[in-house]
């Protein structure tokens, strides 16, 4: 038994090396940078710098973008999942491939395409003008950042929810209908609660990346709108202040961890109070 | 018996071009325990799903208490289903599962609590209210599924092979429980199973189905004692089914031997199926029965011996309280009363015969 176990855990070797080399060590390095100032003295000011007005503003803006994007992804994902999960197997597979297809294309390329579409002389405005409506310039606005973020991360919301919904046994849904539940009630009392684990994975995979997706903000926000990721990037690349950059990263990490535990606890409580 | 609660009129249903139900008519009476019995693929589950509202028939109508409910969705019907796989809601505890239907109907808290308590007592599951359904055994889950349906006071309960996933001992226990519950709540049960023993034990009336049509309907006793065709005879209990020729009234030719029987009304020299139950055959001395044979096999089954007797190229199956020595030549005796003569199915049903081999 012990021998088998020993052999099995050896299979995790490559992952352990990966995790140590690319997660644990960089994390230690970042935390080390974060808690010292440039002269090498211990300080918490790099981390607390998140509360400086300009940083706080970026954090709140990131939070708004991330919350908005996550919410819109959820609202778009459920109807899509319900529609796809009803299709016959071959067709639903096709739909999923169409959904995943953009993920195989280069991220920057897609953002540049969106920039062209959304710019004042872009495709979107061309269509709007040709329909006789007033020009509608959303380039370099929070809205255009959100469109980019949603486009990028939507599949990460759909796939885990799709998995959770298709795992619900058909006869459980039939049982609910049999007991008098209309389609809407079946969704809220059975499908939605049973899809929560998928929804939680979806939120985790969309919320955090949307907060820090500085390249999207750069390209679609015209460099004027700053997410907390942009500030961190600037500290590292332009100001060369690695200590402050690392400090803000650590602060962000703490913030994300706190908000994630909050969501997960809340989810458990809601499950208990399903009625 | 009493008044009709459900009427199925000329129901037909095909899936992917394959006919599952073929112009089927059936009336079910109030407070009846009706069992739809047949091999898998005979259409019994489809028929139950049509009654439950999950499947719409291609042709025909469903009447419930006189009104046409053919297109009524399941959530509006006054029938509830107990599914084979229990189908409990995994995210709710036992009490919330049972209360599901009542909460949808917006009953008062006191009423719901009272009803849930009653239902839990009815299925002998008091004290399990707070448990999660996933922590229960199969038998316990099925009890909760029954409670969850019955608590809503349906006029008819549909049970789709509800005991199919349970082991034999538990199945017997649950059969008795179901009969007790049926007796206590006094509603109509429509029960689907492929297990003939289950059907014979519980039902007021058995509907034997095969290939989308009803083969025979009647009480357990009438189905067992007087099967109307070879399919029913073979499906219900063990049977020796042999080809025979009706020479005249009360005389049939079996394997070249004229044997007395009690059946009348066949054409002279009409080919027939002769059905003899293994427990009706008696092993006697050589030349004292209607045929002789060699004992080829003897299996002790607890309550009786299962004996195979080869006569010509047919092997008779005999159930007897006394053993017979293998390789002995013996005679087989049959009381004329215990021979059942059946008309050969028409050619359109040839398949039925083929399946019997």
Q: What pLDDT was estimated at residue A255?
A: 85
Q: What pLDDT was estimated at residue A274?
A: 44
B83:A174 CB<8 A: yes
pLDDT band at A265 (very low <50, low <70, confident <90, very high): low
Class (C level, CATH) for B4-225: alpha beta
Q: What pLDDT was estimated at residue B93?
A: 95
Q: What pLDDT was estimated at residue A70?
A: 94
Every domain of chain B with CATH number 2.40.50.140 lies at: 240-356
SS3 letters for chain A? CHHHHHHHHHHCHHHHHHHHHHHHHHHHHHHHHHCECCCCCECCHHHHHHHCHHHHHHHHHHHHHHHHHHHHHHHHHHHHHHHHHHCCHHHHHHHHHHHHHHHHCCHHHHHHHHHHHHCCCCHHHHHHHHCCCCCCCCCCCHHHHHHHHHHHHHHHHHHHHHHHHHCCCHHHHHHHHHCCCCHHHHHHHHHHHHHHHHHHHHHHHHHHHHHHCHHHHHHHCCCCCCCHHHHHHHHHHCCCCHHHHHHHHHHHHHHHHHHHHHHHHHHHHHHHCCC
Q: What is the pLDDT of residues B144-153, one digit of tens each?
A: 999 999 999 9
Q: Please state the ipTM of this predicted complex.
A: 0.80
Percent of chain A residues topping a pLDDT of 70: 92
pLDDT, mean over chain B: 91
B81:A178 CB<8 A: yes
Mean pLDDT across the stretch B264-281? 90
Percent of chain B residues topping a pLDDT of 70: 96
Q: Which helix (H) or strand (E) holds B252?
A: strand B251-254
B96:A193 CB<8 A: no
Q: What is the pLDDT of residues A185-212, one digit of tens each?
A: 999 999 999 999 999 999 988 988 888 7
The domain B240-356 having CATH identifier 3.40.50.720: the answer here is no
**Rounded Cα–Cα distance for residues A67 and A81 (Å):** 21
Whether the predicted pLDDT of A154 surpasses 60: yes
Percent of chain A residues topping a pLDDT of 90: 37
pLDDT, mean over chain A: 86
Cβ-Cβ contacts under 8 Å, A274 against chain B: 91-92, 96
- What is the widest separation between alpha-carbon atoms in chain A? 75
Q: Is B52 at the interface with chain A, CB within 8 A?
A: yes
Q: From the CA of B141, how many Å to the nearest CA of chain A? A: 13
Q: What is the pLDDT of residues A75-97, one digit of tens each?
A: 999 999 998 887 777 788 888 88
Which residue does chain B place closest to A274, by CA atoms? B92
Q: What is the pLDDT of residues B292-334, one digit of tens each?
A: 999 999 999 888 999 999 998 899 999 999 999 999 999 999 9
The HSE-up count of residue B155 (CA atoms within 13 Å, CB side) is: 12
Q: What is the pLDDT of residues B165-175, one digit of tens each?
A: 888 888 999 99
Whether the predicted pLDDT of B233 surpasses 80: yes
Domains of chain A with bracketed CATH: 50-242 (1.10.3720.10)
């Amino acid at each position: 038994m012990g021998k088998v176990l020993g052999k099995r855990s050896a299979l995790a070797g490559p992952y352990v090396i990966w995790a140590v080399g690319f997660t644990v060590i960089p994390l230690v390095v970042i935390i080390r940078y974060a808690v010292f100032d440039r002269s090498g003295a211990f300080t918490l000011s790099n981390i607390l710098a998140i509360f400086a007005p300009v940083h706080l503003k970026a954090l709140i803006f990131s939070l708004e973008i991330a919350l908005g994007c996550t919410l819109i992804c959820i609202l778009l994902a459920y109807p899509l999942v319900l529609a796809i999960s009803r299709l016959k197997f071959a067709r639903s597979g096709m739909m999923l491939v169409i959904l995943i297809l953009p993920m195989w294309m280069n991220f920057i390329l897609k953002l540049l395409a969106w920039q062209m579409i959304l710019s004042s002389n872009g495709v979107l405005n061309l269509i709007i003008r040709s329909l006789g409506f007033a020009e509608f310039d959303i380039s370099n606005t929070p809205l255009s950042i959100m469109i980019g973020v949603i486009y990028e991360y939507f599949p990460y919301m759909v796939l885990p929810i799709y998995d959770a919904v298709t795992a619900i046994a058909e006869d459980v849904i039939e049982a609910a209908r049999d007991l008098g539940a209309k389609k809407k009630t079946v969704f809220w009392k059975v499908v939605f609660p049973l899809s929560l684990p998928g929804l939680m994975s979806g939120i985790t995979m969309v919320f955090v990346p949307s907060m820090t997706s500085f390249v999207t903000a750069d390209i679609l926000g015209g460099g004027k709108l700053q997410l907390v990721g942009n500030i961190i990037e600037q500290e590292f690349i332009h100001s060369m202040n690695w200590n402050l950059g690392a400090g803000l990263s650590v602060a962000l990490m703490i913030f994300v961890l706190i908000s994630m535990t909050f969501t997960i606890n809340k989810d458990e409580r809601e499950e208990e109070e399903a009625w | 018996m009493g008044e009709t609660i459900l009427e199925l009129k000329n129901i037909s249903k095909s899936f992917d071009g394959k006919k599952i139900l073929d112009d089927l008519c059936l009336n079910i009476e109030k407070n009846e325990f009706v069992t739809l019995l047949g091999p898998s693929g005979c259409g019994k589950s489809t028929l139950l799903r049509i009654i439950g509202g999950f499947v719409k028939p291609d042709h025909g109508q469903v009447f419930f208490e006189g009104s046409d409910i053919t297109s009524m969705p399941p959530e509006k019907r006054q029938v509830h289903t107990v599914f084979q796989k229990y189908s409990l809601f995994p995210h709710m505890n036992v009490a919330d599962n049972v209360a599901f239907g009542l909460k949808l109907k917006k009953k008062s808290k006191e009423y719901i609590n009272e009803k849930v308590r009653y239902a839990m007592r009815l299925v002998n599951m008091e004290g399990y209210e707070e448990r999660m359904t996933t922590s229960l055994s199969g038998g316990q889950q099925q009890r909760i599924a029954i409670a969850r349906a019955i608590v809503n006071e349906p006029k008819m309960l549909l049970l789709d092979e509800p005991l199919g996933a349970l082991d034999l001992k538990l199945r017997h226990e649950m059969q008795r429980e179901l009969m007790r519950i049926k007796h206590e709540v006094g509603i109509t049960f429509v029960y689907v199973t492929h297990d003939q023993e289950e059907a014979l034990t519980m039902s007021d009336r058995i509907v034997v189905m095969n290939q989308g049509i009803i083969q025979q309907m009647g009480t357990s006793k009438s189905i067992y004692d007087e099967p109307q065709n070879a399919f029913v005879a073979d499906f219900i209990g063990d049977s020796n089914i042999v080809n025979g020729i009706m020479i005249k009234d009360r005389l049939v030719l079996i394997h070249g031997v004229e044997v007395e029987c009690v059946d009348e009304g066949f054409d002279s020299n009409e080919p027939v199926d002769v059905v003899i139950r293994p427990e009706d055959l008696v092993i006697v001395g050589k030349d004292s029965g209607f045929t002789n044979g060699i004992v080829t096999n003897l299996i002790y089954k607890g309550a009786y011996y299962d004996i195979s007797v080869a006569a010509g190229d047919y092997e008779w199956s005999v159930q007897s309280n006394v053993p017979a020595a293998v390789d002995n030549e013996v005679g087989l005796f049959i009381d004329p009363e215990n021979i059942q003569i059946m008309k050969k199915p028409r050619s359109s049903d040839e398949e039925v015969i083929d399946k019997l081999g």
